[in-house]
Amino acid sequence: MKPNSKNRSILSSILMLCFFIGSIPLAAQQIKYTDGNDSWNPNQLGNHRAVIAFSGTGNVAKTTIEWRRRDENPDQKRIIVQDASGKEITNVKTVDINRENGTIFFEPVSGQTTYYVYYMPYIDEGEANYPKGVYAKPESKADAQWLSKINSNMTANCSLQEIQSVNAFNSFYPMEVIATAAETKDLIAKNSGSSFLVFPEDRIYSIRMKNDLPQRWIQKGVQNTFSDTAMKGEYLAFQLGVYALENINNLKVTFSDLKNEKGEIISSKNINCINTDGTKYDGSVFTAAVSVPKGKVQAMWSGIDVPQNAGTGTYTGKAVVDCDGKSKEITLQIKVTDQVTKNGGIDSPEKMTRLKWLNSTLAQENSVIAPYTALTVKEAEISLLGRKLILNSDGFPAQIQTFFTPEMTSVSTKANNVLTAPTAFHFIDASGKETLKWKNSGLKFTKKEAGTVSWESVSTSQSLQMDVTGSIEFDGFVQYTVKITALEDVSFNDINFNLPMQPSASKYMMGLGQKGGDRRQTFDWKWDVAHKNQDGAWIGNVNSGLQFSLRDEKYSRPLNTNFYLQKPLLLPTSWGNDNKGGITITPNQKSVLVNAYSGARNMKKGAVLYYNFNLLITPFHTIDTDFQWNTKFYHKYNNLDTIAQTDATVVNIHHATPINPYINYPFIEFKKMKSYIDEAHEKGLKVKIYNTVREVSNKAYETFALRSLGHEIYSPGKGGGFSWLQEHVGDDYIAAWFVPEIKDAAIVNSGMNRWHNYYVEGMNWLTQNVGIDGVYLDDVAFDRITMKRIKRVLTKDGHPGIIDLHSANQYNKSDGFNNSANLYMEHFPYINKLWFGEYFDYEKNQPDFFLTEVSGIPFGLMGEMLQGGGNQWRGMVYGMTNRMPWSENADPRPIWKLWDTFGIKGSEMIGYWSENCPVKTNNEKVLATVYKKKDSILISIASWADTDVKIKLNIDWKKLGINPAKATITAPEVANFQSAQTFTAKDEITVSKGKGLLLIVK
């Protein structure tokens, strides 16, 4: 979808301002920079051209273009010359092409008129959504006879009228028009003796280059004052551009109070530099050391939080830029007007007002989120929704229990024990024995809050001290820090941790290289972080289980979804032990023993190892079947009347749509989005939008401010990708998803950073100001801390806050061979629906795979199918349909109609996996799930048999509460699913291979 001129003007409002300024000559020799209004095809000619007027005679034109280019090696890029009609001129010769200027001879075939010199043409190779911009090499098509007429000493007979970019967004002006080497040398000479120079810069002109000074700074000269105007309540961002004349380290910016003529003060506490100070995504203090190599430029983005009640007037103070004891003072003069802005001015993000969001602590408190209940502590027992954790005196779990019924629709008083014995660490000596005698301090609770309970215990032996700190949160997340300190030199044949699990809670497994499904009898796994995003697994049953993950103190969340290999896991020093560690899972007479071993090692006195681990107690809550029946997704931007006629209730708005065009930056067309959502609400529809954290659109207003933060927000990488990224971001990034129609080029986010604070604030703003009803997550690159914050802001003030998680199959090389459900399980407590299934095979995979990797049921969730529309017969055994109209075969309306006809809302879902299911078949390959009402039931039958089969139903009429003598069994007509049939309880029923039936018993 190509943006229209109105969209372009919104996107580029600030850049257009630059163009208007640029078209007014600052001096006689000032070059005019203008917008080409998309008047040529950049895929053929590139994004930049010089407009040349030929005024000479003869058939040789000469022009020297002072283009001041930021790209390296311009002599290795092709030059294309056209006349005003667009006809390419073949007789062209280039001389002395460099970054500052270039001389071009060409044949003026159309006489004294305008000609265009395109100087960065590229070819887009690679895939449509992952392009690879390759700049065309120079070529010579010139005729030898014409070349012989060129006199290199001839006087230029052309004038440079202007330099154009294909549109405003592609412009280099003014901050990417480089200073010449001579200008830079002169500047350095005038400031000899200084370690660095500081150039105050307006927020409108983001500092973009790190290897060159902009010509704008040469023209302005070194300034010691920054002046700007702010409204009351506004967050006023500004930049201090530091140019290093030698290598400088520990760059810091400090601020004085600002004081106006009346003596009123804006406190220095209201001013900070986001490069060095702030708040991390988890609420802890952020500090960063900034170093600048000689000859490089560093933007230090800062902001003044002007109080809402500030008096009018001009406030004056100081910004002190300091590094290694050398400093420069910049006078700040901020005029505060009598206008008042709301929300810090965040409704004008083009002014960088939302940079304040990077340090937000919004929704950081660990308050309990529905449907969860407050944690309660009784002696060593901690109770939470549907589960219980019982602690030993050493701080480790003595028992874990769940109370969910096998159907997963209710909580009972019957405990399902997860463990057969307490979990424990074992320290094995060279003889293969465990000889350490431990004394522990006993269990001490350090926090007892509704959302979090924490504890500690210290165990000591002659040679070791083990400090255990643990915590559990209201959703069932358990975190352990286990610090092992050597009190003397010691050697071990192995240090391992045992999870002895109940066989009844170990039926299935997912992770550590195993596809979700029935647990293998024996299992042996080794660390391989270079290739595998694997540090734990889930083992469990439908109504009881545990996910465990092994970490150390240096754990850093890896990249995921196509990018794992570019930032993989760090091998934990403790568990990994130079790849000696691993995990075995072995059944015995009483239990299934998970043994996480680390192998032989020596520890010197005073040495410390962290054997940290996390647990997730599953399921998180009961499944909400009525939500499944009532929430019917329409996954496409479309006319709302058309959507309403489908019986859908929720619209998912992807990116690359008119109201949400740019990936993970849904703020530019927010007025259109609000209008659409308001209309949807009037028609009884809810609207969720695509917005996540993994990559960020290059259309983000803050792109270069984020870039100034080094690798905090953007991952390091090889660069490349779409031409805009190469021309403006330059290098050291990872190019991500690209939408050709609107040229939306995203950059990969580095992981856990302050962009998550911005993301939470953005979600809050969209909920409160635009009215979104939730979010569609396309994979997730943040952790559970951010997820909890997102859930809080999305559900604030009664908003529904529906979170829908999609994932493609992560079990491949690029994703590190992980399982989607295992990878994202920490988020499941806050998800309303799963859409797992892209690149999943619904025909070849068995029921155990559907249950564990796709359905979400063992975790308290329900889902939908994706790839090719899924298998609708097998899907209904798990209460799943496909999602319209994403896939060609995705039309669940006939099944929706049956749901409504039968009245599935309020029914009790009893899955085939439950021993209480009142209907079974006489073929183990044909499964039945029951949806039970008072006087009727819906039976979903699906076959995994290799051929068409005939089956009989085994019905427990007493459990159903139906008199078999009066019962009728019908297969109602369901379009594209089944034809109408009638059966008796004794009939054989034919079930086609890979299909099934929906039967109503009354």
pLDDT tens track for 268-289: 999 999 999 999 999 999 999 9
pLDDT at 887: 86
Amino acid at 686: K
User: Band of the pLDDT at 888, cuts 50, 70, 90?
Assistant: confident
Q: For 927, how many CA atoms within 13 A lie in the half-sphere containing its CB? A: 20
SS3 assignment, position 948: coil
Is pLDDT at 15 greater than 90 in this prediction? no
Dist CA 498 CA 595 (whole Å) = 5
* Three-class HEC string of 25-82: CCCCCCCCEEECCCCCCHHHHCCEEEEEEECCCCCCEEEEECCCCCCCCHHHCCCEEE
Banded model confidence at residue 10, pLDDT cuts 50, 70, 90: very low
Strand pairing category for 592-597 and 601-603: unpaired
Mean pLDDT, residues 904-914: 98
HSE (side-chain half, CA atoms, 13 Å) at 738:
22
User: What are the pLDDT digits (tens) for 322-336?
Assistant: 998 899 999 999 999
E strand spans, 698-832: 735-739, 744-748, 774-778, 802-808
Which tokens belong to 52?
Answer: 């040349």
- Confirm if 1002 and 936 have CB atoms less than 8 A apart: yes
Distance CA 432, CA 450 (A): 44
Tell me: cis bond preceding 587? Omega within 30 of 0 counts: no
d(CA 298, CA 248): 11
pLDDT at 29: 61
Residue-level pLDDT at 578: 96
Rg (CA), the chain: 33
Structure tokens at 562: 């196509």
Predicted local distance difference test score (pLDDT) of residue 589: 85
Find the mean pLDDT for residues 234-263. Answer: 97
Query: How far apart (Å, rounded) are the C-alpha atoms in residues 601 and 552?
Result: 16
The bridge status of strand 277-279 relative to strand 285-287 is antiparallel
In which band, very low, low, confident or very high, does the pLDDT at 751 lie, cut at 50, 70 and 90?
confident
CB neighbours of residue 95 within 10 Å: 12
Query: pLDDT digits over 347-357, tens only?
Result: 999 999 999 99
pLDDT at 837: 87
Helix (H) or strand (E) holding 676: helix 670-682
Segment 523-582, tens digit of pLDDT: 999 999 999 999 999 999 999 999 999 999 999 999 988 899 999 999 999 999 999 999
SS3 618: strand
CB 195 within 8 A of CB 323: yes
What pLDDT score was predicted for residue 464?
Answer: 97
How many C-alpha atoms does 844 have within 13 Å on its Cβ side?
5
Question: Amino acid identity of 44?
Answer: Q
Bridge-based pairing state of the strands 387-391 and 381-384:
antiparallel
| Token pair belonging to 816 | 């590190």
Do residues 84 and 30 touch, judged by C-beta distance below 8 A? no
Angle between helices 784-795 and 755-765 (to 10 degrees): 20
> Per the structure block, which two tokens stand in for 251?
């760059």
The residues, ordered by sequence, that sit 6+ positions from 750 with a Cβ below 8 Å of its Cβ are 559, 567, 711, 712, 713, 714, 715, 716
d(CA 905, CA 625): 8
Per-position DSSP letters for 372-431, written without gaps between them = ----EEETTEEEETTEEEEE-TTSSEEEEEEEE-TTSS-EEEEEEE-BSS--EEEEE-TT
Q: Residue 619, preceding bond cis, omega within 30 degrees?
A: yes
**Quick check: 429 and 493 in contact, CB under 8 A?**
yes
- Which pLDDT tens digit goes with each residue over 822-859? 999 999 999 999 999 899 999 999 999 999 999 999 99
Q: Give the integer Cα–Cα distance in Å for 151 and 32.
A: 29
Distance CA(881)–CA(888), nearest Å, equals 14
Residue 6 has pLDDT above 70, yes or no: no
Quick one: what percent of the chain has pLDDT higher than 70? 97
Is the peptide bond between 500 and the residue preceding it cis, with omega within 30 degrees of 0?
Answer: no
Cβ contacts of residue 314 below 8 Å, gap of 6+?
260, 261, 333, 334, 335, 336
For residue 131, give Cα distances in angstroms to 43, 662, 722: 12, 17, 6
Residue showing tokens 């009727």? 936
Q: Mean of the pLDDT values across residues 932-939? A: 95
User: Cβ distance 992 to 981 under 8 Å?
Assistant: no
Q: Determine the Cα–Cα distance for residues 419 and 594; give it in Å rounded to an integer.
A: 11
Tell me the two tokens of residue 169: 């967004």
In contact, 330 and 240? CB cutoff 8 Å = yes
The confidence score (pLDDT) of residue 342 equals 85
242 SS3 class: strand
Query: Residue 622 in contact with residue 409, Cβ under 8 Å?
Result: yes
Nearest residue to 660 via CA among 798, 766, 585 = 766
Q: Where are the alpha helices (DSSP H) in 499-585?
A: 573-576
Q: What is the mean pLDDT of the chain?
A: 95
Average pLDDT over residues 960-986: 94
Which helix (H) or strand (E) is 970 found in, with range?
strand 969-971
* Burial degree of 915 (CB within 10 A; 0-12, 13-18, 19+): exposed
Tell me the C-alpha distance between 814 and 567, whole Å.
11
Task: Please state the rounded mean pLDDT for residues 797-818.
Answer: 96
Residue 869 has pLDDT above 70, yes or no: yes
pLDDT at 22 over 90: no
Q: Tens of pLDDT along 101-141?
A: 999 999 999 999 999 999 999 999 999 999 999 999 999 99
pLDDT digits (tens, 9 = 90+) for 891-901: 999 999 999 99
Give the Å distances, CA to CA, from 652 to 628, 633, 688, 725, 807. 16, 7, 5, 29, 15
State pTM to two decimals: 0.95
Sign (positive or negative) of CA dihedral 337, 343, 347, 348: positive
DSSP-derived pairing of the beta strands 650-653 and 686-690 = parallel
Q: How far apart are CA 540 and CA 522, in angstroms?
A: 15
The Cα 898–Cα 802 span in angstroms is 25
Q: What pLDDT is recorded for position 274? A: 98
User: Under a CB-based contact definition with an 8 Å cutoff, are residues 516 and 557 in contact?
Assistant: no
Q: Which amino acid is at 577?
A: N
Report the helix count and the strand count for the chain, using DSSP H and E: 19, 65
Encode burial over 790-815: b for 16+ CB neighbours within 10 A, e otherwise: bbbbbbeeebbbbbbbbbbbbbeeeb
